[in-house]
């Protein structure tokens, strides 16, 4: 995507530019550094970006990043398709005749050529029609759903084109096969009051080997490998009113954020520290190993030492024979957890939705039932009331 199509400001009524996912701001990268050590099994980075005057956010909000695919991946796909990249296509734009761009630009910044979607396979087969190869036909229909899911796992669009070549004759058809490349949203890891004119991100760089090829997450790969200090990234702010600090700064808060789920809680703590909030703060952070994966360790331990961070718990799953997770630390402090809730504490969870968030909620319910000396049904009713009062908020994915 060219700069000219990215940062033409739309004027607001006040005269200041309005940036959005269709009109992002080209932010300069100020810092891009590893948070994990080389010994870690993962790569997690801390990225600092400058923001335009008038771009403001609140802790709990997200930053949208408009990604592009790496040149090598696009070139490989063009070769598999049999195009040179300069062919012209029309990018459909609702309510307009569309924009004429090259197929290389379409595959770089407009269409999702990464993780292979089942819908793309179906549309690819539809384009082939009666000429669809037997192997492709074997992936179609409800009776072959398991085979299709198995085929898509770990593959990208280039693998489909390589396995079943010669089907796309007109590059314009790619807009009917592939989903649009969407911006990625990252929980903001900073308080703007603490870092005026800046926004910080905590990003896990996704890399893996699938079917004999080294792969990257489209946006995390861009941030991890192609966003050096001084480069520019197209970004916009995304408001999340469902994940907010308590209105009363004296209210206690409990924050559960393993891995990159720590991001909004760094923002929460910085905001409360810089504004002088008197409410107690309890943070539970977890990852694999303390020596290589303790994100923002110095900052959090300094907050704990000065008494601002009331309670700091960590859970490093691989540092002992029996794996310990954030929910285990919560269970150990069950009585204290209920006491904080009874004092009106707000409870926050950020991170993995599939397992961690569910396990944390189960421990929360157990602690409530124990504290009430009540039944699971009474605990569920207590939690329901917390949700209604916006005292239990989750940012999970």
Give the residue-averaged pLDDT of 114-118: 96
Give the residue-averaged pLDDT of 112-140: 97
Give the residue-averaged pLDDT of 151-166: 97
Q: What is the distance of C-alpha 337 from the center of its chain?
A: 28
Cβ within 8 Å of residue 47, ≥6 positions away: 29, 31, 32, 200, 201, 203, 223, 227
Are the C-beta atoms of 198 and 50 separated by less than 8 Å?
yes
pLDDT at 8: 41
Are the C-beta atoms of 76 and 69 separated by less than 8 Å?
no
The answer, yes or no, to whether residue 13 has pLDDT greater than 90, is no
pLDDT at 16: 57
Residue 94: band (very low, low, confident or very high) from pLDDT cuts 50, 70, 90: confident
d(CA 174, CA 310): 55
Question: What are the residues facing 156 on neighbouring strands?
Answer: 115
Domain residue ranges of the chain, discontinuous segments joined by +:
3-67+183-238, 71-177, 253-396
Residue 2: band (very low, low, confident or very high) from pLDDT cuts 50, 70, 90: very low
| pLDDT tens sequence across 332-390 | 999 999 999 999 999 999 999 999 999 999 999 999 999 999 999 999 999 999 999 99
Q: Class assignment of domain 3-67+183-238?
A: mainly beta
The answer, yes or no, to whether residue 191 has pLDDT greater than 90, is yes
Q: Do domains 3-67+183-238 and 253-396 have the same CATH topology?
A: no
Task: Write down the residue that tokens 């189960």 correspond to.
Answer: 362
Q: Is 308 exposed, middle or buried (0-12, 13-18, 19+ CB in 10 A)?
A: middle
Q: Tell me the three state secondary structure of residue 348.
A: strand
The answer, yes or no, to whether residue 167 has pLDDT greater than 70, is yes
d(CA 258, CA 271): 20
The answer, yes or no, to whether residue 4 has pLDDT greater than 70, is no
Phi/psi for 199 (5° steps) reads -140, 140
Query: What is the CATH architecture of 71-177?
Result: Up-down Bundle (1.20)
d(CA 49, CA 118): 35
Q: Which of 54-68, 93-107, 290-304 is predicted least confidently? A: 93-107
For the question of whether the overall pTM of this predicted structure is more than 0.95, the answer is no
The answer, yes or no, to whether residue 70 has pLDDT greater than 50, is yes
The domain 253-396 having CATH identifier 3.50.50.60: the answer here is no
> Phi-psi bin for 51: left (phi > 0), alpha (psi -120 to 50), beta?
beta
- Specify the pairing of strand 198-204 against strand 44-50: antiparallel
Residue 95: band (very low, low, confident or very high) from pLDDT cuts 50, 70, 90: confident
CA-based nearest residue to 89, from 168, 182, 8, 7:
168
The answer, yes or no, to whether residue 392 has pLDDT greater than 50, is yes
Are the C-beta atoms of 94 and 249 separated by less than 8 Å?
no
Give the residue-averaged pLDDT of 126-145: 96
Cα distances from 106 to residues 20, 92, 277, 293, in angstroms, run 20, 11, 48, 37
The answer, yes or no, to whether residue 105 has pLDDT greater than 80, is yes
């Amino acid at each position: 995507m060219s700069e000219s199509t990215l940062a033409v400001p739309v004027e607001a009524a006040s005269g200041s530019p309005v940036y959005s996912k269709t009109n992002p701001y080209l932010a300069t990268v100020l810092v891009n550094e590893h948070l994990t050590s080389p010994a870690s099994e993962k790569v997690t980075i801390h990225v600092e970006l400058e923001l335009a005057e008038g771009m403001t956010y609140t802790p709990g909000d997200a930053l949208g990043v408009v990604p592009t695919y790496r040149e090598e991946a696009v070139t490989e796909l063009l070769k598999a398709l049999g195009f040179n990249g300069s062919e012209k296509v029309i990018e459909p734009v609702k309510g307009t005749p569309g924009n004429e761009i090259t197929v290389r630009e379409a595959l770089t910044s407009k269409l999702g050529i990464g993780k292979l979607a089942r819908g793309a396979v179906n549309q690819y087969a539809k384009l082939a029609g009666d000429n669809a190869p037997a192997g492709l036909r074997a992936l179609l229909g409800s009776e072959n759903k398991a085979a299709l899911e198995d085929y898509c796992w770990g593959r990208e669009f280039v693998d489909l084109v390589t396995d079943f070549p010669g089907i796309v004759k007109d590059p314009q058809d790619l807009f009917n096969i592939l989903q649009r490349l969407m911006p990625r949203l990252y929980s903001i890891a900073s308080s703007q009051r603490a870092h005026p004119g800046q926004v910080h991100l905590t990003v896990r760089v996704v890399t893996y080997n699938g079917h004999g090829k080294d792969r990257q997450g489209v946006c995390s790969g861009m941030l991890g490998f192609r966003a050096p200090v001084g480069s520019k990234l197209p970004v916009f702010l995304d408001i999340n009113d469902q994940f907010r600090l308590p209105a009363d700064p004296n209210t206690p808060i409990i924050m559960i954020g393993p891995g990159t789920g720590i991001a909004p809680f760094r923002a929460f703590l910085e905001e409360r520290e810089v504004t002088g909030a008197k409410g107690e703060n309890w943070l539970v952070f977890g990852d694999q190993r303390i020596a290589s994966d303790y994100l923002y360790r110095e900052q959090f331990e300094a907050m704990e030492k000065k008494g601002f961070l009331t309670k700091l718990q960590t859970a490093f799953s691989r540092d002992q024979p029996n794996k310990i997770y954030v929910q285990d630390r919560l269970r150990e402090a069950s009585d204290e957890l209920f006491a904080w809730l009874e004092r009106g504490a707000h409870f926050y969870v950020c991170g993995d939705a599939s397992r961690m968030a569910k396990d944390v909620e189960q421990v929360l319910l157990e602690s409530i039932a124990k504290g009430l000396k009540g039944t699971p049904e009474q605990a569920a009713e207590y939690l329901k009331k917390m949700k209604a009062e916006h005292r239990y908020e989750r940012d999970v994915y």
